[in-house]
Structures are given as C-alpha cells and as structure tokens.
C-alpha cells in the first residue's frame, strides 16, 4: 500500500511505500503525529493512529534500552492477508452488482459501440459505395475492434485502476492485497472476464468477499471507491 504525507507547508509528499514510511517513522524522519493518507482515501489522519504505523511510532519514542527490551517480548502474529487487506482501521468494500453491470454497459458502448455504428452506416450506403469497399471497411472494423477492446481495458485497469465506465460509477480494481493492478494482470483479467462472464453472477453470490471467477484467478478485486470502518 502507498501513502502520502502532509508536510508542514501543507503540501503532499508521495506516494511512499508502506515499508519505507515505517522505516522513516522509526528513524525519526517522519514524526508520529504527521498526518498521512493512503492512496485510496482523501482523509488525513495522524500516522500513530493507524495500526500499520502504530508500532513504528511507539518505537520511535523509545530509547535504545527500551527497544531492546521490547524486542525480547513475544511478538504478536498477524495474518498477512488480513493486514494487507486492511488500511489503518478500514476495509475495502466490494462493488455492487448494479455498479459492475452499468460500468460494463458504459464500457461496451465505448469499445464496441463504434463498430455497430460503422456497420450500420455501411449497410445504408449500398448505392454510394461499391460492394468491395464496404466489405473492406467492415472487415477492417471487425478486425480492429477486439484489439481496441483489449487495449482499452488493459490500459485503463493497468495504469488508472479503472475504465471510464468504472470511473463514472465509482468503482475500481485493485489486487487482493490492496496493491495496484498493472498491465499484465489487467490484460489477464480482461481476457478471463470475456470468456468467463457467464459465471460471474454465481461466484459473486457465493464468494464471501463478493469476488467473481476472473477476480479469483487473477488475484484482484473490484471495489467501490470508499472505505468502511472496521
């Protein structure tokens, strides 16, 4: 997970990886009461009030002898998946079915809609264009559309974490551990979503975290752009 810090001059610095920020707090480079926020939330909160930085903030306030005594204590064991899926005291919220469906329809209009418009126009221009020309244009459109479809979803999900349709309906894609989804994983998710779409409603209903089969196979989650308190 990446975080931003609010500096004294009221400017943001980041994004900073969670592990790096932990070390900065321990070394005193970032004060425990410095306000931070994660990449998915606009809300600022003091670093020491977030569970992921609480231990680092406590260590930063101890002297060397106290730290040595602390390290001898039995460490509490955390579930990695649980801790990665938790941002401070919040959890990700799965996108609702209607949001997913409407975002998909929106994106289909953008990616496939132009092809239908062009094909409809070609059918209306029988007298103005030769048969060979109409055949060539129709073949070209049908050949380009699948590549445009893959490019649209791969770039949108891989670099922006959401397509235009998902942005409009307030949802986005992340990895199951909360990290960003990059192009390779976005490409695989897109392919699986196309071929396994018919299974999506069933898996959404039966899976505890409301994840579809493409999400499970690629280690991703479609979430609402909001965070729910634990």
pLDDT at res. 130: 85
Residue 44 pLDDT > 90: no
**How high does pLDDT run on average in the chain?**
80
Among 5-9, 49-53, 201-205, 209-213, name the one with the lowest average pLDDT: 49-53
How far is it, in rounded angstroms, from Cα 23 to Cα 29?
8
pLDDT at site 79? 39
| Structural domains of the chain, ranges and CATH numbers in brackets | 2-77 (3.30.1490), 93-229 (no CATH)
Largest CA distance in the chain: 91
- 55, 56, 57, 63 alpha-carbon torsion, rounded to 10°: 100
pTM (2 d.p.): 0.58
Task: Say which range, 2-6, 28-32, 225-229, has the weakest mean pLDDT.
Answer: 225-229
Angle at alpha carbon of residue 94, lines to 90 and 99, rounded to 5°: 130
State residue 178's pLDDT score. Answer: 78
Tell me the mean pLDDT in the region 33-60.
78
pLDDT, tens digit (0-9, with 9 covering 90-100), for 218-229: 999 998 875 443
Query: Strand 171-175 vs strand 45-46: parallel, antiparallel, or unpaired?
Result: unpaired
pLDDT at residue 185, rounded to an integer: 93
For 89, phi and psi rounded to 5 degrees?
-120, 35
Say if residue 77's pLDDT is above 80. no
Tens of pLDDT, residues 175-213: 887 788 889 999 999 999 999 988 888 888 888 778 899
């Amino acid at each position: 997970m990446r975080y931003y810090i609010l500096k004294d001059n009221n400017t943001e610095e980041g994004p900073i990886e969670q592990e790096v920020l932990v070390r900065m707090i321990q070394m005193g480079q970032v004060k425990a009461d410095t306000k931070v926020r994660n990449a998915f939330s606009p809300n600022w909160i003091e670093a020491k009030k977030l569970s992921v930085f609480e231990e680092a903030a406590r260590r930063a306030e101890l002297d060397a002898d106290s730290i040595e005594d602390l390290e001898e204590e039995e460490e509490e064991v955390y579930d990695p998946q649980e801790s990665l899926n938790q941002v401070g005291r919040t959890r990700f919220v799965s996108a609702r079915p209607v949001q997913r469906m409407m975002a998909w329809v929106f994106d289909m209009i953008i990616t496939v809609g132009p092809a239908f418009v062009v094909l409809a126009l070609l059918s209306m221009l029988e007298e103005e264009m030769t048969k060979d020309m109409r055949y060539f244009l129709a073949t070209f459109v049908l050949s380009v559309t699948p590549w445009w479809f893959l490019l649209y979803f791969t770039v949108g999900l891989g670099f922006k974490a959401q397509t235009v349709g998902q942005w409009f309906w307030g949802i986005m894609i992340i990895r199951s551990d909360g990290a960003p989804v990059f192009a390779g994983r976005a490409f695989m998710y897109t392919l699986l979503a196309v071929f396994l779409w018919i299974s999506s409603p069933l898996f959404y209903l039966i899976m505890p975290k409301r994840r579809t089969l493409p999400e499970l196979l690629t280690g991703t989650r479609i979430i609402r752009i909001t965070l729910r308190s634990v």
